[in-house]
Amino acid sequence: MKVLKHTSVFIAVALSLTACDNSFDPTDRDNGTYSVHGMLDLMEESNYIRVRNMNAPFTLEATEELDVIVTLQNLDTGESRQLEPSIREYRGVYLHTFSNDKQALPDTGYLLSVESSDGFKVDLETVTPTHPEPQIIREDNGCSTPVNMVFDPMNGGTLTLRFGTELDTEEEDGMWGRIYTFRPSDYNDRVSISFTPLRTAQGVEASFGTCFSLLPGRKLYAAIAHYSPGFYEELNAEVTDILETTRRFGGFYADTLAIPVDPSR
């Protein structure tokens, strides 16, 4: 299953805030001294959390040591795991990453804790998104036959959707249309999307071509990304508080569906 480049942007946003060249001096212990960035990707067997001491200058020597223990607790079962640390040099600083080798579960509460030896602790909590099997409802697979695609249940998550006529390759990008975003305010319990393959393909290609010309592979693609409740909005919000940029933790998955289309119908 393919993770599309447009979904990877949000992962980069969540993990890339180690490139600044000045330190952050919190005004009190309630603000905290650690930046914490990471996602629980439901499609991956392992997930990674980036932690940095924001009071340490951004130099190689100052970032070499990080005196913390990072744990991840499944709030539904109570199981807690200590994450494995690793360190690597990148652009003149050391990056500290903590890995969890147990696959995250959908629709599950998780508590991420970062604790130093002097007892200072940062706790971040999330509920991973549901992972419903998409329902494709239609009379037949004709190119002009209406299709209803349903994701149920959603449980307050945000879903993004992008239709395409060609997949990405290692050499070049595929052909993709605009991104549709379905937030909790846009649906009740489920997301229901209605479309026809022909008109959708015409919109992607900005062309009035036929199904034979627009969908030679006889498939219309739907790239989806599903986020924890509030996590998509958090990643894309205008930042007014520095702590909102130094703490990012939530659940996510991305997948691509291939919808068969018969251009002769």
Q: Which of 103, 127, 151 is the last residue of a domain?
A: 127
Write the CATH number for 159: 2.60.40
- Same domain for 91 and 57: yes
Question: What average pLDDT does the segment 5-32 reach?
Answer: 39
Q: In whole angstroms, what is the distance from residue 147 CA to residue 125 CA?
A: 37
> 177 lies in a domain?
yes
Looking at residue 249, its pLDDT comes to 95
Q: In whole angstroms, what is the distance from residue 144 CA to residue 161 CA?
A: 20
- Same domain for 181 and 153: yes
pTM: 0.83
> 229 lies in a domain?
yes
What's the domain count of the chain? 2
- Same domain for 232 and 196: yes
Residue-wise pLDDT for 24-71, tens only, equals 333 334 445 789 999 999 999 999 999 998 888 888 998 899 999 999
* Residues recorded for the chain: 265
Question: What average pLDDT does the segment 198-204 reach?
Answer: 97
Task: Look up the domain containing 110 and give its range.
Answer: 5-127
Q: In whole angstroms, what is the distance from residue 14 CA to residue 124 CA?
A: 14
Q: In whole angstroms, what is the distance from residue 202 CA to residue 200 CA?
A: 5
Residue-wise pLDDT for 85-101, tens only, equals 999 999 899 999 999 99
Q: Which of 89, 110, 127 is the last residue of a domain?
A: 127
